[in-house]
């Protein structure tokens, strides 16, 4: 489109104010604006005109609080079984799933920056904890490389064989992600092992009349990502999912950017998919009321037909008020929501996945989630846009696929990092989960302690001194024993169980001690620890380590610390 056609388009879709400003800017600015409009018209499904048409419908429904589930009854999905971590069933599922990981691919949806968290870089570059300073992307790659190592040894595969790893980026993160990986030599992955899919941004919308937002720094439209549901469109558009299938891959595992515990449930979730022949398998955990994750609901229509839907969090309060409890998204007696929460670890069988996304060309249903100024719902706090969700692929199912669900303990596989330090502390005061950098660090330690002590039964904690406790934002934050288990030490819970049960005695450690287990090594006898110990080679004798080099956390002084420390409010000493 040239300038005249751009003006005609803008006038047709009600953007007269932008047209007036466009005619007043310099020829250079006009050229740049016309170039952007052409790019956005290609990026928008059906072009800008159809994008605005769809937005008007969705915004009207949102303003009127129209509920798309009004024709259904809502029930708790009691018939979705929860996997008991450490049970015979769990280990059987994990073993079953692990067998097909050699024919699987991993897809990381990672389009976000860490600005909201107070972190300047890409979110997957944020350090998960301060002991090893491993960022999220390194942790994820370690898991995949550990799978490869075990599979390669067992199957006697060539060193050239690998599990494909694909990362979806955005315009904000694409170059930064590539540079970050290059700087760190892909954290050990092969150059041809990692591929990238960059999602487009779409026009931001100012109000219910769908006036488009202009940037403040230059005469261009403000744009925002279309949501992580774009991963399906990109996999279809580029032919990448088809290529994987043609290469003999059978399963695809998709996961989000900042869940440090996500891989704990991957093998068993794949095992569930195999056992029950699911084409799409979505994972769920216990959800806290008001938590910004969707919830799984059982829907019953007027004829009594049952179905299930993963309903996004912004719809739950009004839905529950109307259809469930008359109160909204409020906590039950245990402090949680009655409905399980979406984890966004998704397992797809590749062959039916290709059929599911073929007709809609990978395009999943859109929604809009404006943040309103007040209850009149007439003004937005900030520009909004149409969005899509990766977990909404099941909405494309007709009679061409089967959907299943896997329900896990929350501590086992969910640790979100969504909030900055100030907001996290405010959430804690309200009895909500912090979901920030310091809570992730604590939850990593808690998982490792729980899996070794309560599930496998080979860890004993001896309390010898007060817990390491800090006061951050009027909130008491305590740290117990600090345990890190590298994927290279145990790629699965099954392998961890076998290694720890191989020991003749338990690992005993004091409550402020630090234990790091790294590399594919064996501990023959046991460990008695009071201090700091890194195990990265075989231990044949019983080890008594009383160096008392406890890693302790301390509050940062004003102006002190690096980004990844300031977003936590503390640093470590004694390492």
Question: Can you give the three-state secondary structure of 254-291, one letter per residue?
Answer: EEECCECCHHHHHHHHHHHHHHHCCCEEEEEECCECCC
Q: What is the pLDDT of residues 178-201, one digit of tens each?
A: 999 999 999 999 999 999 999 999
Q: What pLDDT score does 558 carry?
A: 84
**Mean pLDDT for the stretch of residues 434-449:** 96
Annotate 335-381 with three-state secondary structure: CECCCCEEEEEEEEEHHHHHHHHHCCCCCCCCEECCCECCCCCCEEE
Say how far apart CA 422 and CA 201 lie, in whole Å.
29
Tell me how crowded residue 486 is: count the other CB atoms within 10 A of its CB. 20
User: Among candidates 245, 194, 478, 247, which has minimal Cα distance to 351?
Assistant: 245
In the chain, % helix, strand, coil (3-state, to 5) comes to: 35, 25, 40
Confidence of residue 369 (pLDDT cuts 50, 70, 90): confident
**Mean pLDDT for the stretch of residues 406-411:** 95
pLDDT score of 309 more than 90: no
Say how far apart CA 258 and CA 218 lie, in whole Å.
32
Pair type for strands 194-198 and 251-256: unpaired
Locate tokens 């980026």: which residue? Answer: 169
Helix (H, G, I), strand (E, B) or coil at 384: strand
Say how far apart CA 366 and CA 372 lie, in whole Å.
19
Q: What is the pLDDT of residues 137-146, one digit of tens each?
A: 999 999 999 9
Beta strands in 455-504 (DSSP E): 459-462, 468-472, 475-479, 482-485
Q: 500 near 518, Cβ under 8 Å?
A: no
Rg (CA), the chain: 25
**Mean pLDDT for the stretch of residues 202-219:** 95
Say how far apart CA 403 and CA 77 lie, in whole Å.
14
Q: What is the pLDDT of residues 256-270, one digit of tens each?
A: 999 999 999 999 999
Q: What pLDDT score does 575 carry?
A: 62
Instruction: Name, in order, each residue with C-beta under 8 angstroms of 431's C-beta and a sequence gap of 6 or more.
Output: 331, 335
Q: What is the pLDDT of residues 67-102, one digit of tens each?
A: 778 789 999 998 888 899 999 999 999 999 999 999
User: Among candidates 260, 572, 569, which has minimal Cα distance to 425?
Assistant: 569
Confidence of residue 400 (pLDDT cuts 50, 70, 90): low
Confidence of residue 401 (pLDDT cuts 50, 70, 90): confident
- Interhelix angle for 421-429 vs 437-450, to 10°? 60
Q: What is the pLDDT of residues 290-308, one digit of tens each?
A: 888 999 999 998 888 888 8
Confidence of residue 355 (pLDDT cuts 50, 70, 90): very high
Structure tokens at 116: 């909201």
Q: 177 near 186, Cβ under 8 Å?
A: no
Helix (H, G, I), strand (E, B) or coil at 182: helix
Say how far apart CA 152 and CA 163 lie, in whole Å.
11
pLDDT score of 116 more than 90: no
- Sign for the CA dihedral angle at 491, 492, 494, 496 comes to positive
Say how far apart CA 546 and CA 361 lie, in whole Å.
61
For residue 494, the number of C-alpha atoms closer than 13 Å in the C-beta half-sphere is 18
pLDDT score of 174 more than 90: yes
Highest mean pLDDT among 385-389, 494-498, 561-565: 494-498
Structure tokens at 392: 């909404």
**Mean pLDDT for the stretch of residues 260-288:** 96
Helices (H), 64-134: 88-98
Helices (H), 44-101: 47-63, 88-98
């Amino acid at each position: 489109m040239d300038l005249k056609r751009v003006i005609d388009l803008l006038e047709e879709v009600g953007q007269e104010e932008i047209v007036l400003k466009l005619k007043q800017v310099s020829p250079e600015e006009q050229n740049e604006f016309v170039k952007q409009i052409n790019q956005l018209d290609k990026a928008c499904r059906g072009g800008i005109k159809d994008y605005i048409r769809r937005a008007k419908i969705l915004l009207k429904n949102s303003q009127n609080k129209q509920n798309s589930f009004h024709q259904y009854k809502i029930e708790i999905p009691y018939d979705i079984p929860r996997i008991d971590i450490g049970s015979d069933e769990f280990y059987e599922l994990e073993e079953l799933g692990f067998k097909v990981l050699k024919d699987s691919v991993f897809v990381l949806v990672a389009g976000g920056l860490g600005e909201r968290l107070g972190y300047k870089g890409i979110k997957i570059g944020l350090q998960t904890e301060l002991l090893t300073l491993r960022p999220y992307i390194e942790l994820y790659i370690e898991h995949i490389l550990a799978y490869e190592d075990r599979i390669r040894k067992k199957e006697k595969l060539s060193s050239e064989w690998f599990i494909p790893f694909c990362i979806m980026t955005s315009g904000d993160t694409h170059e930064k992600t590539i540079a970050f990986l290059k700087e760190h030599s892909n954290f050990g992955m092969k150059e041809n092992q990692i591929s990238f899919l960059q999602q487009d941004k779409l026009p931001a919308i100012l109000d219910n009349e769908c006036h488009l937002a202009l940037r403040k720094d230059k005469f261009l439209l403000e744009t925002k990502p279309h949501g992580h549901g774009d991963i399906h469109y990109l996999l279809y558009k580029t032919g990448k999912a088809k290529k994987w299938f043609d290469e003999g891959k059978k399963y695809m595992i998709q996961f989000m950017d900042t869940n440090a515990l996500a891989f704990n449930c991957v093998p068993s979730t794949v095992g569930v998919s195999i056992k029950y022949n699911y084409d799409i398998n979505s994972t769920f955990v216990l959800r806290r009321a008001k938590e910004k994750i969707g919830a799984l609901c059982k829907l019953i229509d007027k004829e009594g037909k049952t179905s299930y839907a993963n309903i996004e969090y912004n719809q739950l309060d009004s839905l529950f008020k109307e259809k469930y409890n008359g109160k909204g998204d409020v906590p039950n007696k245990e402090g949680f929501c009655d409905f399980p929460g979406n984890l966004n670890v998704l397992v797809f069988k590749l062959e039916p996945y290709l059929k599911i996304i073929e007709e809609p060309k990978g395009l999943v249903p859109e929604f809009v989630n404006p943040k309103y100024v007040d209850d009149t719902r007439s003004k937005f706090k900030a520009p909004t846009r149409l969005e899509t969700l990766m977990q909404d692929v099941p909405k494309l199912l007709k009679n061409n696929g089967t959907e299943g669900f896997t329900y896990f303990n929350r501590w086992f596989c969910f640790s979100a990092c969504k909030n900055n330090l100030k907001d996290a502390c405010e959430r804690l005061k309200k009895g909500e989960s912090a979901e920030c950098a310091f809570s992730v660090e604590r939850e990593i330690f808690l998982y490792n302690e729980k899996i070794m002590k309560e599930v496998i039964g080979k860890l004993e904690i001896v309390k010898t001194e007060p817990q390491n406790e800090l006061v951050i934002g009027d909130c008491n934050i305590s740290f117990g024993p600090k345990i890190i288990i590298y994927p290279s030490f145990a790629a699965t819970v099954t392998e961890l169980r076998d290694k720890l049960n191989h020991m003749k005695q338990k690992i005993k450690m004091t409550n402020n001690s630090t234990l790091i287990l790294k590399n594919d090594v064996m501990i023959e006898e046991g460990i008695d620890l009071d201090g700091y110990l890194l195990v990265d080679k075989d231990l044949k004798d019983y080890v008594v380590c009383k160096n008392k080099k406890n890693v302790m956390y301390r509050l940062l002084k004003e102006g002190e610390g690096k980004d990844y420390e300031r977003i936590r409010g503390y640093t470590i000493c004694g390492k």
